[in-house]
Amino acid sequence: MLKDKNILIGITGGIAAYKICELIRMYKRAEANVKVVCTQNAMNFVTKTTLQSLSQNDVGIEHFNIDDFKIEHIAYTDWADIMVVAPASANTISKIANGIADNLLTSTVCAFRKPIIIVPAMNTGMWENPIIQENVEKLKKLNYTIIDPETGFLACGANGKGRLCDNDLIFDTTDKILNPKLKKKSKIIITAGGTIEDIDPVRYISNYSSGKMGLAIADCAYNQGFEVVLITTKEVEKPYKTIQVKSALDMQQAIDKEFKTANYIVMAAAVADYKVKNKSTQKLKKTSADEITLTLTKNPDILKNLCNKKTKQTIVGFCAESENLEKNALQKIKNKGCDYLVANDISRNDIGFNSDYNEVMIFSKNGNVKKLQKAKKTEIAKSILDTILK
């Protein structure tokens, strides 16, 4: 979605400056053009050579380094579609809020007439300083986009609010601003986690699904402006609508209530194929027998049922395979009737269940196949959404 967009990144002096190297790589992987301007203090935390290598452009630091007879900060404002100041120090935030333009970065901001994202990162005491908060509020009123810092362990040794937010949030906010069509609030239902089928009040049948893939898709969709409904077996706290369920039947009922008004359904949950036929209402006691027999019966095929009754919805299924990945995936998309099927190999220890990484193949009903190489699930989530949106 960011292909051929011109993104100007402003880096200020803070320990979080090193994290922006990965943000540059994310923009470049999305085929955006990236240029970087830095304060002099930023050079204490990241090198000019590193930033030039990653952005594949010269890095601006000096205030009036005139090239080709163009005043540099004006040239940047003409070139860029958006400016992202990250990390933004207390000092730079205060300068911007009060119109001070004493270096290349602040001069560029002062002259910039397009969207600006400011991503603060600093010590908790500095962030909570009333003067800094007043300056942040001032910038919000002036239509700057502020992405608040996170709470966590800081470089100074303290634990509090002030840590740079996740790069994925910066990336998705950039995407949302530059692609306003994504703000149309399409409704997307995403399922996550492994369902639980009770044997008795203390025992159950389930699987190893962590729910991380579904959660990554939900976060990505929310950051892109979707109306998200996450139906999950895991307890999570999110800014979008979340419904916690337990069994396959619970999940089916929750989806059915949201289905008619949805535009997209992504079935990333690992739904149990079978449940105990006659689950006990009381704890089963151990007996002298060496064996116990449980009779299992099929759960409803949620994915197939949704595909059979869909109207306007785009439906994405998932399958986890331990062998013959492509063959089994092709058979499943044919049997289920979904628009897309995302398949991953669970025989590998470095991806899939409980891992932060995945490697998948996306099959479409028209026969197209797209392979996504091993990457963080947050990046895989973006690629999945890009595929179904196109």
Q: What is the pLDDT of residue 68?
A: 47
What mean pLDDT do residues 360-376 have? 92
- Would you call 49 helix, strand, or coil by DSSP? helix
Q: What is the dihedral of CA 210, 214, 216, 218, to 10 degrees?
A: -140
d(CA 76, CA 20): 19
Is a pLDDT exceeding 50 seen at residue 69?
no
Is a pLDDT exceeding 70 seen at residue 72?
no
- Would you call 267 helix, strand, or coil by DSSP? strand
What pLDDT, in 10s, does the model give residues 87-127? 999 999 999 999 999 999 999 999 999 999 999 999 889 99
Choosing from 21, 38, 156, 338, which is the catalytic residue?
156
What pLDDT, in 10s, does the model give residues 136-171? 999 999 999 999 998 876 766 677 788 899 898 899
% of the chain surpassing 70 pLDDT: 94
Task: List, in order of start, the domains of the chain with CATH numbers.
Answer: 6-178 (3.40.50.1950), 182-281+291-389 (3.40.50.10300)
d(CA 136, CA 358): 38
Is 338 known to be catalytic?
A: no
What mean pLDDT do residues 73-82 have? 87
Q: What is the pLDDT of residue 113?
A: 93
What mean pLDDT do residues 305-318 have? 94
Nearest CA to 364 out of 387, 337, 390, 341 is that of 341
DSSP codes joined into one string, 179-230: -GGGGG--EEEEEESB--EEEETTEEE-----SHHHHHHHHHHHHTT-EEEE
- Would you call 342 helix, strand, or coil by DSSP? strand
Confidence of residue 172 (pLDDT cuts 50, 70, 90): confident
| Order of all β-strands in the sheet with 116-120 | 59-60, 33-38, 6-11, 82-88, 116-120, 145-146
What mean pLDDT do residues 59-64 have? 77
What mean pLDDT do residues 319-341 have? 92
